[in-house]
């Protein structure tokens, strides 16, 4: 891993270990504007951060027991022409697939797994 990538991931780890996560959309609950969409995993945001939508940086919390940083999603909503990142904590490969399916075909998603230490 080159120095730039290492520094990026070190900062992401620092962020996810020093700031609290708020889950405002628990697993199994419907999306507030699209009730047919049921959250497959806990979804929320990292406190004391900001994202392009005015809220905190979005976070998906997966099924692994340890909630360490496992990767980042870069998303582009083709309907709203909106792009953002979503942090993945404790996500398995199956969790990532569930997230992709939840986002649907209008949301183009790039998964960047955290490199092994």
CATH code: domain of residue 92: 3.90.80.10
pLDDT of residue 52: 78
pLDDT of residue 3: 62
Question: Per-residue DSSP letters for 85-113?
Answer: EEEEES--HHHHHHHHHHH-TTEEEEEEE
The list of the chain residues with pLDDT below 70 reads 1-4, 117
Q: What's the domain range around 49?
A: 3-113
Reported pTM:
0.93
pLDDT of residue 2: 65
How far is it, in rounded angstroms, from Cα 54 to Cα 10? Answer: 25
Look at the chain and report how many structural domains it folds into.
1
pLDDT of residue 5: 87
């Amino acid at each position: 891993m080159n120095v730039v990538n290492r520094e990026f991931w070190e900062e992401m780890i620092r962020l996810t270990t020093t700031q609290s996560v708020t889950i405002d959309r628990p697993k199994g609950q419907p999306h507030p504007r699209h009730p047919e969409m049921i959250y497959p995993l806990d979804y929320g945001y990292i406190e004391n951060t900001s994202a392009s939508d005015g809220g905190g940086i979005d976070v998906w919390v997966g099924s692994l027991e340890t909630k360490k940083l496992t990767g980042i999603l870069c998303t582009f909503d083709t309907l709203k022409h909106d792009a953002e990142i979503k942090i993945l904590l404790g996500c398995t490969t199956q969790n990532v697939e569930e997230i992709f399916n939840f986002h649907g075909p209008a949301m183009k998603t790039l998964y960047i797994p955290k490199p092994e230490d």
